Each structure stands twice: as structure tokens, then as C-alpha cells.
Structure 1
């Protein structure tokens, strides 16, 4: 192919690329480019060599000028098409052009690494003065190109995310930074072990505690798939990228109530893309990315080598800044980096133990403060002041009780136990002989039996049953009709009279054990001790931070219907005298979806449990996931809440989760799924995505029992299944056995 033919082909591909980006919209500038290129190809044969070169040069200049002009006309949906385009840069291009050398880790078959997730050990060479430094780094990210036929479009399966987490921990062991590159429309919604939701939750939890600098670069950030490698100290977003809770098409399908083979209109998709605030500028304004890296007009492509130089400089400087922000000796280098923008200053990327601790605390504080500007809290000032004083008092008491006195008490207790053990070993035989003699004395037999009762497991008292604590009757029990169990054709269940089913039977089929849905009030009144519930943060309200069309009305209806301001109710309560902090997601309020208010309430509940040294119980009456109308404000709650949970667990807390009805998506794939103790009420459905989303994403229909609790148990997601009538007893036993005497690990 001659040089002229290559130039013509290049211009033809550029035109096709522009047409792909702008879709079917009519545009005078695009029409002009097409007309000029078409005229040239038609008249080329009549031109001599010099004229052809002159026309090509003129056309190239016209393309450059109009591409810059078209850049200003891009809509959010145009940017989505840019990051999805096959000509978009990919992780393979970045490895080749940003890093000086790298070795890809793992194979390319599906079950060794998942080809949509690339992990590479790389290094960056830096020359400072006459000295050359090679700084190692772990590169992790989704790959959409370079063999895209087996890359699955960047949708990572659970084992791909598991491999990413494994090598994040390797980087932590080697004390080297991690650079993650996010190129995903979302995670692949498969529940096969370890399961999409469970693995993403593990990844977020692990990243929350990494003791090395993490820099994330976002091109296409689709919800949970992005969060699996996105919890970073610095987040850089490419100027044409998008970061969202859901794709614009997915949001349009929900807003337009699209079902079956129907498709949302382009106008609705465009409107949702605008309302979700998914662009780099939107996310920078809201505070969810730290900086934007400008791309060439209409997006970075593999031939834009100057862009790779800018990206290289950006990730180096971001890593330097993170290290210097937690290191003690940094003054002049920090000034040089921030004020002079000077990359030619060497910063050693390994961290000392103290710096690592500062890094973890800095990361927690950063995410703790995100989205709080959108919070609506109508709690009166005097109540806030009283709560602050109470919280401070609890902190002081906890420090004295558990840290100061508790530490010395434990030492004394451990010493006494050791001495007692030595005495028992020394005088064991003498004591056994003495015991035999004592047993023969009739007067002391009764005392021995009483001692035995105090040291053996408790048993049911005669005549006791679970329903002695029932004080709430479901309104469904007022229906004078019979109810047919959905399992009747399979197990032959007979029809049940509604007053019996929703009254004495607690919504449980007496033939097969199927659990019908019950109101959240049933659990409040039948699980916890009478009059022990003390709600807090009840004035924190769900809001509409993006001004999404129709959401204000829907929220008002939900508030009026439920009597609550948000989908999360937080309270302190007792079970058989054992006090705990509870966060409950209520399915009746917008499906139990999580937004800014719900995330903040959950975090404050975890912080209260940590301050008071109380067990933390998350009861999921039902959750549809992250509230899509809040956009990134919702999805950011995944890492925020997980960081709070990790801090609570690392302080020694006991965190239990119980799922009921339908529990899906973001909450399950983060702050709920990271609990070491997760249980489900029988007949509950648990997973990453519902059947409709899976069908739309993968084109596959799943079995009807795919998300059932017993299947979730078999995959290792949960640790047990509870009958609704036994929740009170099971929860109390769990607290006693998992938490022990003080209901705290350490």
C-alpha cells in the first residue's frame, strides 16, 4: 500500500469513527467531512501527484479543525460511545506505551485468570540527574481489546476479580504501588463460585485495608465491576470517560419500564445519560474523582502517543503525591510536586510501617467525607448537640473500660488462668481423689447438681415456644380468604387460611416451610425485646441530589407510605438482654435501595457500634441495590460503607448479616457481602443481578432456583439458613457463640 493510500484509508477510518460516535444524529460538520472526502476520492484519478498531496493535506487540516469543533458538541451519551468504540485505547496499549517493561501474570484461558482481567508486574524507569531508578508497580485492569473475541467486553467474571485481589495482596507484601485501570461496562453477573457479588465484596474489603499506594484510572466505570478495583487513594478520570451506577440503557429500561424484547428509545437513553451525571466533569464536581486527564479531540486512540506520555507523567505524580502525603520527611519535594509540577524529583515508593498506618487512616477519612454535601439531615440542633455529647461520653467510657482497664484486666485474667492451669496439672490426681470422696457424702449431692446446671448448655424450658414473644400481627392476617402455597404443585401443600398463615404461622407454610413475605414491623416486634428499641438518625432523609426527573414525587410517596425518611432504619435494641446496634434495609421504601442517606446512616450505625463496643447486626428486609437515580452518589456508598465495616471489624467487632425476601446488587456486593457471618431467611433470594438483568446482559435464562437461599448456601456465600420463627433464638445463640462473653472478638 502506498503512502497516499494509507492516508486516504486513515481519513476514511476517522470519518467512520466520527459517524459511530455521533450515531444517527444529523450534523452539518460531519456531512461536510463526508462530502469533501467523497469528492476527493471521485476526482483523485484526474489529479497529478502534487495535487493529490495538496488535497490530502487540506483534508487532514479540515478533519483536525472540525474534530476540535465537534468535541464541543459531545453529549454524555456520545462519550459513552467513545469509550465503547473498538478504536478506544485499551490496557494493552497502556502497558506498551506507559510502562518501560512488564510481564503479564497468568494464562489466557477462562479459569486461570479470566482474559477480561489483566495483571502485570511492571516497572517505570526514571532518570533524575545522572542516576536511573527502576520503580516496580503492580498493574491491574480490565481489557476490552487485543483479542476482544475472548475478552468478554471487559465484563470480569468472579475468578478474574479473585485473581486481581490475590495480586493486590502480593503487591502489599512486596511493598510496591498498585495502578488499576478501569475499562468495564460492569461485572459479569454469574453466581458460580465464588459468585460475582461475593467476590466484589471481598475485593472492596481487601482494598480498604491495603498498605500500599493505589492509583486508579477510569475510562469506563460501570458500577460494581468498577468498584472491584476502584477503591483508590487517587482516582484519575479520562476526560471522555464515564463513571456510573448503571449504563444509560439500563437506566432507560428501568425508567421506561421496558420488558421482554422491547428497547428504550434513543431519546430516553440520552436523557438518562444526562441526568445520571456520568461524565468526568460531573464526577470531579461531585468529588468522586480527584483529577481529569484531558484526551485528544473525540477520545484517545492507540496512535495518540503524546497522550500516553501525559498519562505516564500523571500516574507517576499521583503515586509520588500519595507517598509524600503519608511520609514524615517530605517538605521540599511536596512543594516541588504541587507548586512547580516538577516530575524530575525522585520519591521512593516503598512505605515504612508508620506511613502505612497513616495511609489507611487517610484513605478512610477521604471516603468518609464523600457525598456528605448531598445529605439532608433535619435533626434539630439540640438533638445533634445531645448526640455529640453522648457519643463523646461513650467514647471516653469505652476507652477506659475496654482499652485502659480492659487491657490490664486481660493480663491479670490470663495470668490467673495460667496459674490455675499449673495448679490443676500439679494437684489433679489429689483433687480427683477428693472429688470421689465428696461424691459419697449425701448432703453435697444437691449442690453438685446445681453446679452442673450452671456449666452445661441451656435447654428449652417445658412449655416454651417461639411465639411467646409475638406482639405484632400482620395486616395480611385480617384477610378472610385462603392462600395457596407456590410449592403446592410440587409438595402437595394444602391451602392455608390467611389469619392462621400470617398470624400463628408467622407467614410460613405449615406443609413445606415456604416463607411468605412479612412486613418489617414483624421483625421489630417479634425478634427484639419489648420496648428495647431506640431509633437514631430518623431525621436523615433520602433526597434527589441529581435532580432526576420524577424522583422527588416517588420519594415523597415512599415516605408517606412507610412513615420513614429513608430505606434504612438504624436503632439500638436488645435480645434477651443483649444490647446491639441494628441497621435495617426496608424493602417497602423504594425497594430498599441505597443512596446517600442510607449509606450515611449505615456508616454512623457501624461507628456507634464500634464506639460502644456493641455487636452490629444488618437485617436486610430487602434491597434492590443502589438507587440508580442518585447516580455515582449511590455507587460511592459501596466503598464508603465497606471502609466503615472494616474499621469496625478491625477494632474487634462482631458483624452479622441476615438476608430476607430479595437482596441484590451493590449492597450485597460490598458492605453486606464482606461480613464473615451471613445468614438468610428461608425462601430468600440473594445475588448480584436479578433474572431480567442477567438475561439482558448475557442472553441466557437462569434456572428458577438460581438465587434461592439454599443455592447461595451451596456456593459458600452465606453460612446458614434460618426459619423465620426461630430468628430470635438463632440470633441470640449466634451472639453468644460467635461473640462470646463480651460479644467482641478481642
Structure 2
């Protein structure tokens, strides 16, 4: 075999060969259509740099970004019966749970953790939308209650990051029972005099928005988050009216007094730390800003040097000038 067949032809084939590129290398901005490199998006906390659009942030990454230096400990949550009703639709509920755990890397739809936020001890719970749309089931309800009880035991504020499609239908009435149970947990926090801050992310809907998501001492929403109970189409068919374009958005709820503030994701940590510090009557360690060093003023010439620089004629004239 000559060099044309062994060297040249393989190189020509490589030029025309289709290269495999990972699908998640570039992410499209839903608002502007801009393609953003995934590392740039991750470094900016999943906020598109140019448009400011808040993409959905992975639950575990949110926990790491919220605590100081990403240092935290997971709170142990109770185990529950996996499939109490032996539910099955197009597939078995147990199979759906296995797929969700494999896809998200988590055991359930809620992550509970403790750590320091700007130097203050804090307990948080984060709903994972990748786990069956962050739906509220028995395990999720037990996790939220465990986090609230731990906050009461340790005397820390409790912050709830909500992202959910509502109650988990596969668990039926047992899922709906988590709404009053978590409400009891909120009451425990209030009796202990501890702040309960709710962060509403995209989306916050269904039974979750009808329970612990709207019972906070302070309600903060991320820009553009969808927040509501029933869907837009269902409401329009019920009231027989056309709803505003920005209906059920964070900005719409802020204008109508349903939430307290809309805060960008980059400012959430400092905002929550400041609010909890005020409610707990504690001083919060704010990030230190390096002030520019003041420029040293130019040294003025000494009096003796100035006198030496005075011309001799002017000096003689002053000595012979009569006193007034």
C-alpha cells in the first residue's frame, strides 16, 4: 500500500467526518435567542449576561453558591414509604422515582442544608425542579419539616427556595396532607421567633403556592419567575376574560402587593443575610470592598528654601521699606 492510500486518503476522510459536539455546550437565551457558552452562564449563576434572563439553576449548585465558600452540611431527612398507593399510569411510580434519582443525582425533590451566610448560621431548603418537577410528596414534606425543626433547635433563620409544579398526584391525599403539615412547621418557626424567608423561583405553582410558599415573613422573587396557583388557560376559561401578558410574573405580583421584593440572583445572598440580620438583631459580615489608596499630597518647599529662592533685589526692597 502506497503513501496515498495510507496517509492522504485518511486525512481527506477526516476533513469530511462529522465531529460530535456536546449538546449542552451552548445554551440559547429564550428571550433574545443569543447563544451563551455554558461556562460563562454557570459563572454568572445561570443569568444570561446581556439580557439578564434568569435560567433555571440546578438545586445543588444553588446550595453551593449560597453558603460562604460553598461550605455546608446536608441535614438528614426521614425516610418514607416509596409507593404507598402502588400507583401506575403509563409506567409505575417506582420506575419514575428511579428515573428522577438517576437524572438529578438526588434522593428527593428537596435538599436541606446548613452553613454560614455572610458569617451567620442559616438553615435552607431548596426544591429541585429536575426531580419530578419539584412536586410536593411525603418525602419532600418530611424534608421541609426536618429543616424547620433543625432551624428551631439551632436557633437559625430558615430560608426556603421554592421551585415546584405543585402536589405530587401519584401520592394522592398523602401528598395534599403535606400542605397543612408544613404550615405547622412555619408556625413553629414563628413561635420560636425565627425568620422564615421565602425565595420564589421559576416556577412556583399549584398546592405549593397555596401553603408554605406564601407564608413567609418576607417574600422575595427572582426576576421573571412564574408564580401562581392555577394555570393561565384555566383562569381565563373560568373568568371568561383575557388576562394581562405579564400575569403571574414576579413583577406583576410585586405591583399588586403579593410579594415584598424582586431581587436579582447575584444579590440574593447579601439581601437575605441583611434581612435575617435585622430580624435576628445581629450584625452581618458584609463583603469587604477594597478602597483605593489616597494619593499623598505634594510636599511644599520649606520656608528657608523659599527665602533662598527670592531674588536679592526684592529682599533689599522689603528691608528698606518703611513700616506703616
Normalised by the length of structure 2, the TM-score is 0.73
Are 2:54 and 1:512 aligned?
Answer: no
Match of 1:548 among 81, 87, 98: 87
User: Deviation string for 1:658-703 (max 9, x for gaps)?
Assistant: 0111001212211221112010111211111122443565555533
User: Deviation string for 1:226-247 (max 9, x for gaps)?
Assistant: xxxxxxxxxxxxxxxxxxxxxx
Match of 2:217 among 672, 676, 697: 676
- Partners of 1:542 and 1:595 within 8 A in 2: no
1:507-656 to 2 correspondences below 5 Å = 507-538=46-77, 540=79, 543-549=82-88, 550-620=92-162, 622-656=163-197
Match of 2:28 among 469, 483, 504: 483
Equivalent residue number for residue 715 of structure 1: 256
- Partners of 1:658 and 1:680 within 8 A in 2: yes
SS of the aligned residue for 2:235 comes to helix
In the TM superposition, residue 638 of structure 1 has moved relative to its aligned partner by: 1.0
Normalised by the length of structure 1, the TM-score is 0.33
User: Deviation string for 1:275-300 (max 9, x for gaps)?
Assistant: xxxxxxxxxxxxxxxxxxxxxxxxxx
SS of the aligned residue for 2:227 comes to strand
In the TM superposition, residue 509 of structure 1 has moved relative to its aligned partner by: 3.1
Are 2:203 and 1:658 aligned?
Answer: no
Are 2:37 and 1:498 aligned?
Answer: yes
1:32-51 to 2 correspondences below 5 Å = none
- Partners of 1:485 and 1:509 within 8 A in 2: no
- Partners of 2:166 and 2:208 within 8 A in 1: yes
In the TM superposition, residue 525 of structure 1 has moved relative to its aligned partner by: 1.9
Separation in 2, partners of 1:503, 1:598 = 27
Separation in 2, partners of 1:480, 1:546 = 41
In the TM superposition, residue 495 of structure 1 has moved relative to its aligned partner by: 2.5
Separation in 1, partners of 2:211, 2:145 = 13
Separation in 2, partners of 1:504, 1:556 = 30
SS of the aligned residue for 1:573 comes to strand
In the TM superposition, residue 480 of structure 1 has moved relative to its aligned partner by: 4.4
1:419-438 to 2 correspondences below 5 Å = none
In the TM superposition, residue 484 of structure 1 has moved relative to its aligned partner by: 4.0
User: Deviation string for 1:302-348 (max 9, x for gaps)?
Assistant: xxxxxxxxxxxxxxxxxxxxxxxxxxxxxxxxxxxxxxxxxxxxxxx
Separation in 1, partners of 2:193, 2:279 = 12
Structure with greater helix percent? 1
SS of the aligned residue for 1:557 comes to helix
Separation in 1, partners of 2:80, 2:131 = 12
In the TM superposition, residue 705 of structure 1 has moved relative to its aligned partner by: 1.6
- Partners of 1:540 and 1:601 within 8 A in 2: no
- Partners of 1:539 and 1:565 within 8 A in 2: no
1:248-397 to 2 correspondences below 5 Å = none
- Partners of 2:64 and 2:71 within 8 A in 1: no
- Partners of 1:570 and 1:582 within 8 A in 2: yes
- Partners of 1:480 and 1:498 within 8 A in 2: yes
| Number of aligned positions between the proteins | 260
* Distance verdict in 2 for CA 1:552–1:688, change over 3 Å: same
Equivalent residue number for residue 13 of structure 2: none
1:451-470 to 2 correspondences below 5 Å = none
In the TM superposition, residue 713 of structure 1 has moved relative to its aligned partner by: 1.0
In the TM superposition, residue 615 of structure 1 has moved relative to its aligned partner by: 0.6
- Partners of 2:77 and 2:142 within 8 A in 1: no
* Distance verdict in 2 for CA 1:505–1:584, change over 3 Å: closer
* Distance verdict in 2 for CA 1:605–1:504, change over 3 Å: closer
SS of the aligned residue for 1:574 comes to strand
SS of the aligned residue for 1:660 comes to strand
Separation in 2, partners of 1:542, 1:712 = 37
Separation in 1, partners of 2:174, 2:73 = 29
In the TM superposition, residue 629 of structure 1 has moved relative to its aligned partner by: 1.6
* Distance verdict in 2 for CA 1:725–1:606, change over 3 Å: same
Equivalent residue number for residue 293 of structure 2: none
* Distance verdict in 2 for CA 1:525–1:738, change over 3 Å: same
In the TM superposition, residue 505 of structure 1 has moved relative to its aligned partner by: 3.3
